[in-house]
């Protein structure tokens, strides 16, 4: 987790198998064959859940929702009756990994896609996963699905997303899991330099790439929505709270209030995961009661900026499936499922 200097190093050696239209890796795009193993607590899984909703793939790719807490063995499906996922028939997500790769030695991570026919994990490459949802799965997109990864913007977007990953998405972890003052200070400075740059960028842009939502927004949002609840205190990213950064805070609030974003967030599960699982950072396991959530529903104040939220011809996604509606006690949103 941390190297000799005390700097946090994320293992990014994921299972790179892809589900593609041509099935070149042995896994062809096919409706009702694959199950997305996710957790509402996890920011990397959050982006997969958002993309799945925006593209309308929630009727095509089922979801297995793991609980917020686990031990070193694996994410677990303790939210389901008997603690067993009703489709995969397993309690530990590691069983799907081990079924394909016996004695799998790397981290058992979410999001992961599992082949329902075999019970074997297909991939846990979250970076490629959402890109494939937008391109390889296009024939199954809902009518009005947005193009979150337009070809004309890909070069700029790829560079921006790489920057956001290293300095912000993973940057908060570099702060929280640093084991030396020097490593923490370096990560903290990089994080806040990046957030200042994004604050400036959003001064004149409705979304990261312009007037429309893109893959870049899907990737930044999960970190922002967790910032005040977890990263500010738990990970010591405490120069300012998100609600003290007017452009980022307005941007995050607008996305939270946009269908497909805030309706994927369970703040209780988010806090339980970080404060209970990370015993090295929070040995008491005490979960804070705050912060208050009502601010997420206040006006975002960004209507003066040009907006074409869903792009030309795009429309908002329908409400979430009833089985996937977040517990109303754990979110300020009130959402009816379909």
- DSSP letter for each residue of 87-109: TT--SBTHHHHHHHSTT--S---
For residue 38, list its beta bridge partners. Answer: 65
Residue 2 lies in a domain: no
Buried b (16+ CB within 10 A) or exposed e, 107-116: ebbbbbbbbb
66 located within any domain: no
- Asked, for residue 93, whether it belongs to a domain, the answer is no
Total domain count, the chain: 1
Greatest alpha-carbon span in the chain: 55
Structural domain that includes position 280: 155-308
* Residue 274 appears among annotated catalytic residues: no
Residue-by-residue pLDDT tens, the chain, 338 positions: 678 788 998 888 999 999 999 999 999 999 999 999 999 999 999 999 999 999 999 999 999 999 999 988 899 999 999 999 999 999 999 999 999 999 999 999 999 999 999 999 999 999 999 999 999 999 999 999 999 999 999 999 999 999 999 999 999 999 999 999 999 999 999 999 999 999 999 999 999 999 999 999 999 999 999 999 999 999 999 999 999 999 999 999 999 999 999 999 999 999 999 999 999 999 999 999 999 999 999 999 999 999 999 999 999 999 999 999 999 999 999 999 99
Within-domain flag for 113:
no
From 27, 42, 188, 207, active-site residue: 42
Q: Which residues, other chains included, contact 168 with Cβ-Cβ below 8 Å and sequence gap of 6+?
A: 191, 194, 195, 198, 220, 223
* Position 287 in a domain: yes
Catalytic site residue from 173, 188, 231, 275: 173
We report the CATH number of the domain holding residue 238 as 1.20.1050.10
In a domain, 221, yes or no: yes
Q: Annotated catalytic, 175?
A: no
């Amino acid at each position: 987790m941390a190297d000799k200097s005390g700097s946090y190093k994320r293992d990014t050696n994921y299972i790179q198998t892809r589900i593609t239209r041509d099935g070149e890796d042995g896994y062809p795009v096919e409706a009702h064959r694959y199950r997305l193993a996710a957790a509402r607590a996890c920011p990397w899984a959050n982006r997969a859940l958002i993309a799945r909703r925006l593209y309308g793939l929630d009727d095509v790719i089922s979801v297995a929702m793991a609980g917020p807490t686990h031990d070193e063995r694996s994410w677990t499906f303790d939210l389901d009756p008997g603690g067993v996922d009703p489709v995969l028939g397993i309690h530990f997500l590691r069983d799907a990994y081990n079924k394909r790769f016996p004695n799998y030695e790397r981290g058992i991570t979410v999001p992961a896609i599992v082949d329902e026919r075999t019970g074997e994990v297909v991939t846990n490459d979250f970076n490629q996963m959402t890109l494939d949802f937008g391109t390889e799965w296009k024939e199954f997109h809902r009518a009005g699905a947005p193009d979150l990864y337009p070809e004309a913007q890909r070069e700029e977007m790829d560079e921006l997303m790489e920057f956001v990953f290293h300095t912000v998405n993973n940057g908060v972890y570099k702060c929280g899991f640093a084991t030396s003052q020097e490593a923490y200070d370096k990560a903290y400075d990089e994080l806040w330099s990046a957030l200042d740059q994004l604050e400036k960028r959003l001064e004149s842009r409705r979304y990261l790439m312009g007037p429309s939502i893109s893959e870049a927004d899907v990737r930044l949002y999960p970190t922002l929505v967790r910032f005040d609840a977890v990263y500010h205190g738990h990970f010591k990213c405490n120069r300012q709270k998100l609600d003290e950064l007017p452009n980022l805070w307005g941007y995050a609030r607008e996305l939270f209030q946009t269908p497909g974003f805030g309706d994927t967030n369970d703040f209780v599960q988010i806090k339980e995961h970080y404060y209970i699982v990370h015993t090295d950072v929070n040995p008491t396991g005490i979960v804070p009661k705050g912060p208050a959530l009502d601010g997420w529903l206040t006006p975002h104040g960004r209507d003066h900026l040009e907006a074409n939220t869903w792009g030309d011809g795009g429309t908002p996604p329908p409400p979430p499936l009833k089985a996937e509606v977040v517990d109303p006690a754990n979110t300020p949103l009130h959402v009816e499922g379909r």
